[in-house]
Amino acid sequence: MNTPAHAKSSSFSLFITFFAAIGGILYGYDIGIINGALLYIEHDINMSATETSLIVAAVLGGGALSTLVTGYLADRFGRKNMMITAVIIFLVGVAFLATANNYDLLLMGRVIQGIGVGIITIIIPLYLSEVAPKHLRGRGVCSFQVLLTAGILLANVIAYFFAKAGISWHMMFLSSGIPAVILGIGLLFLPKSPRWLVFKGNIKQARHSLEQVYSKESASQELDLICNSHKKSGSASIGALFQRKFIYPLMLVFGVAILNQLTGINTILQFSATILKGAGLHSDLSAISGSIWITVVNFIITIIAMLLVDKVGRKPLLSIGTAGVAIALVLSGFAFIYLPEGMTKGIIIGIGLHLYILFFAIGPGVVVWIVLSELLPNSIRSIGMAIALSLNSLASTVLASSFLPLVNHIGYGGIFIMCGLFTVIYFYLAYFKMPESKGKSLEEIESSYSENGPSLTAQQAST
């Protein structure tokens, strides 16, 4: 193993991480704002259960579309240029939502926002994994998830106060343009990914990018590693996905991407106020208030997980998190089925949702972005992440779009138990199949995959 390169301890490194990760706020704000707005949109626009579910799922569907092509576009035009494009698309979606007066415009705005968010979900973790020093990479990528949870919390708080003050739901959507503008301004000052620059043959500029986060000597060592890895793995292409040595990491990453959504996280967060109303909290403001506390837990625990991920490791956190999520979902499901409707049931379900969010935040919430960005080799990282996140968005879209119709057939309890069973499978992958990548460079992780399969097994990686 190569000697770890020492990164500069500079405010510029923090600047890079913070402004890139602000994209997480956009994603989180988009998830959170619909939760409160949905209760008031229905007063102005008549929607069936299926149409309401589609409004929630539209962002996820738009993301599924954009993630399919984002990997290719990221390799062609660069990570930074695609982040700027995502901001512009997102702001167009905000304009549609802020002026929507019928269902079609509302749906169109949500889809356009989803396209922007879909680009962000690939590009920012990819960018952070390629720019951040390896001993800080886990926390750097996790900062995206921290600000994502901050965006969800912020959106719920704003929705609560807007609703209490009687401000139109249009303004709830318009407020999401503020973090997009901040991100757009910050992006102008971020360096390009050194690994993308090497991929494009611009070695001189790659060295300059590396020297902004490493000392000159360490930057040279890191550049040599990147160049050697690029020579071995070659150019990114769809055909590279089918190399035998890449099958294991691809299947693992695809499985994690799909199962992360089948825990129900995006759907439950976007419908949490509706779920709490269905559990017995009949006041709109009480339901939104309950959602706020759920997002507070999500935000706080995500910060704790970010501090632990480079110390404890990815594998232990994901294993503990998925086990806890499965238990919380199944127990909440039984509470929905067997407890009589009323305030007591609402409180118990609220506690179950808090535990669900707590365990999701400590494990899947932060680790999924690291797994997607670390375990894929350089030559297929952007394309592999594009496919993985498209599958992630597709799973989330299907679940969200069928959520309310499913409630009518199997109830909230049935949905919670179903998601709990999917999470049991997720735990199996995390505990028995996933290698530990803590403290390893992206090139060291890639070198662990041989032509005969992964030489870095879960057991070897944890020792």
Q: Which sign, positive or negative, has the C-alpha torsion 7, 9, 12, 16? A: positive
Supply the range of the domain harboring residue 240: 17-461
| Tokens encoding 97 | 């939502």
Residue 2 domain flag: no
With 0-12 / 13-18 / 19 or more C-beta atoms within 10 angstroms meaning exposed / middle / buried, residue 430 is buried
Is there a contact between 405 and 50 (Cβ–Cβ < 8 Å)?
A: yes
Question: Which has more pLDDT, 438 or 204?
Answer: 204
Residue 46 domain flag: yes
Reference 92, options 65, 120, 113; nearest CA is 113
Residue 207 has pLDDT above 70, yes or no: yes
Residue 339 has pLDDT above 70, yes or no: yes
Residue 7 domain flag: no
Q: Model confidence at 219, in pLDDT bands (50, 70, 90)?
A: confident
| Tokens encoding 98 | 């802020």
Residue 4 domain flag: no
Report the largest interatomic distance among the alpha carbons of the chain, rounded to a whole angstrom: 68
In the DSSP assignment, the letter for residue 453 is E
Question: Which has more pLDDT, 8 or 438?
Answer: 438
| Tokens encoding 333 | 């499901």
Q: What are 415-463's pLDDT values in tens digits?
A: 999 999 999 999 999 999 888 777 676 667 667 655 444 444 444 444 3
Q: What was the pLDDT predicted at 136?
A: 65
Which residue type, as a one-letter code, is found at position 195?
R
Residue 167 domain flag: yes
CA distance 222 to 228: 10
Q: Specify the DSSP element, H or E, that contains 449.
A: strand 449-450
CA 328 to chain centre: 21
Residue 8 domain flag: no
Reference 216, options 10, 5, 13; nearest CA is 5
CA distance 370 to 180: 23
Reference 301, options 253, 354, 254, 236; nearest CA is 354
**Weakest-pLDDT range from 127-136, 283-292, 331-340:** 283-292
Residue 410 domain flag: yes
CA distance 147 to 22: 6
CA distance 20 to 187: 7
Question: Which has more pLDDT, 418 or 305?
Answer: 418
Is there a contact between 127 and 80 (Cβ–Cβ < 8 Å)?
A: yes
Q: What are 113-164's pLDDT values in tens digits?
A: 989 988 988 788 788 878 877 666 667 767 777 888 888 888 878 887 887 7
Tell me the C-alpha to C-alpha distance, in Å, between residue 188 and each of 175, 321, 382. 22, 37, 22
CA 365 to chain centre: 7
Q: What was the pLDDT predicted at 134?
A: 67
Question: Which has more pLDDT, 397 or 318?
Answer: 318
Residue 60 domain flag: yes
Q: What was the pLDDT predicted at 275?
A: 72
Q: Specify the DSSP element, H or E, that contains 437.
A: none
Q: What was the pLDDT predicted at 97?
A: 92
Residue 235 has pLDDT above 50, yes or no: yes
**CATH code of residue 439:** 1.20.1250.20
Domains of the chain: total: 1
Q: What was the pLDDT predicted at 284?
A: 63
DSSP-assigned beta bridge partners for residue 222: none
Cα-only R_g, the chain: 21
User: What percent of the chain is predicted at pLDDT more than 90?
Assistant: 19
Spatial neighbors of 283 by CB under 8 A, at least 6 apart, are none
CA distance 422 to 442: 30
Which residue type, as a one-letter code, is found at position 14?
L
The string of DSSP codes covering 145-191 is HHHHHHHHHHHHHHHHHHHHTT--HHHHHHTTHHHHHHHHHHHTTPP
Q: What are 427-439's pLDDT values in tens digits?
A: 999 999 888 777 6
Residue 103 has pLDDT above 80, yes or no: yes
Average pLDDT, the chain: 80
Q: What was the pLDDT predicted at 107?
A: 93
- Across 378-390, average pLDDT: 78
